[in-house]
Homo-oligomer: A and B are copies of this chain.
């Protein structure tokens, strides 16, 4: 049997994805499966049932990360790891995260079915709370496992209802006994939807990211002067929302201004007192800057600070801009990246080199061992929304590339 001829069962993969999408499924066709919710638990239970049917050994660590091991011939060698996450954004899509887990399950089923014994063990993983939308920070499970986040600190993080991460983890029965602590790996693969429009635009099937962009997060707060709208003339107003509006347009213009490859976004805004007939007295908003070029990112932040100070001074609305998070770009393992492109070509899929604009568990795992990602196209580039979609033949293509990656790495 030529292992290079082996392919996944596309119908079975689709089936598992559709079954999973029922858990936390929304009327709008998406998935609402927040980390450590009842739906997360139900999806985890189903994954474990499926893994047990495939005679996979299950381990759950203190962070709720689920590992499933298919032992290789030589148990002394570090395993090949592959997976992603089960949790979703609020009213998110049916592919983000779960596709990488279900495709790995399909790879294991295919290998099992064909009776293949690999040299190295293969390990499937579901990382807890990748999204970070219920409990901040994102990528909490992989972060603790990789030794980059403090487990006890993550336990104390609370959702908007005040419930703590640690309590919720225990409540759904996934606070495991295994230490959440890195171990040597031969390779880590994460198959994921692109979440952007590039593959669709260039008409390619497999995206091969060189790595993940650097990200800077800022919080901005503007002090204006709240006042009754009617009796307060336009001149002499200190309208915090008008100041914010000017700043938001400045953020939008920043990438062109910096002349580099970056994106800049204001995603969140809070206006106070937020009343129809009161001049806004205080506005808070967020800024998200991303670029592969860490230096550019740093200069962009400084440039923005200058703009904000100028606008604040002109309008008599003092502004504070605080950098709350910064992560430099992640470069994936060069030989793994090259291998993915080569495998795509061998199977007959077109591929395209790009950069991931979104963070992934791969960011942390990359600090433990050789890591790379495989992308498939997102229809219309949409993600984190209910209409998030990927064609079934592309799901199949990604899984076939993953299968060959894993087989080669485990041989």
Stretch at the interface among A99-107, A146-154, A164-172, A240-248: A240-248
Nearest residue (CB) in B for A265 is B229
For chain A, residues 31 to 79, give those with C-beta under 8 angstroms from any C-beta of chain B: none
Contact present for B279 and A228 (CB under 8 Å): no
Q: Does A255 contact B (CB under 8 A)?
A: yes
Nearest residue (CB) in B for A230 is B357
**Given A241-B248, A248-B245, A249-B242, A381 and B276 touching (CB < 8 A)?**
no
> Contact string, A180-205, partner B, CB cutoff 8 A, digits 1/0?
00000000000000111110000000
Contact present for B227 and A252 (CB under 8 Å): no
Nearest residue (CB) in B for A289 is B229
For chain A, residues 76 to 110, give those with C-beta under 8 angstroms from any C-beta of chain B: 89-91
Q: How many copies does the complex hold?
A: 2
Determine the distance from Cα of A268 to Cα of B381 in the docked complex, in whole angstroms.
31
> Contact string, A245-284, partner B, CB cutoff 8 A, digits 1/0?
1101100100110000001111111010111111111000
Chain B residues near A91 (CB-CB < 8 A): 273
Determine the distance from Cα of A357 to Cα of B383 in the docked complex, in whole angstroms.
46
Contact present for B227 and A385 (CB under 8 Å): yes
Q: Does A213 contact B (CB under 8 A)?
A: yes
> Contact string, A384-408, partner B, CB cutoff 8 A, digits 1/0?
1100000000000000000000000
- Known: A213-B230, A231-B383, A268-B276; 15 extra A-B contacts, CB below 8 A, are A89-B278, A195-B230, A225-B382, A226-B382, A226-B384, A227-B385, A230-B290, A230-B357, A231-B358, A231-B381, A236-B381, A245-B248, A267-B279, A268-B271, A269-B274
Chain A interface (Cβ within 8 Å of chain B)? 89-91, 133, 194-198, 213, 215, 217, 225-234, 236, 239, 241-242, 244-246, 248-249, 252, 255-256, 263-269, 271, 273-281, 286, 288, 290, 356-359, 378, 381-385
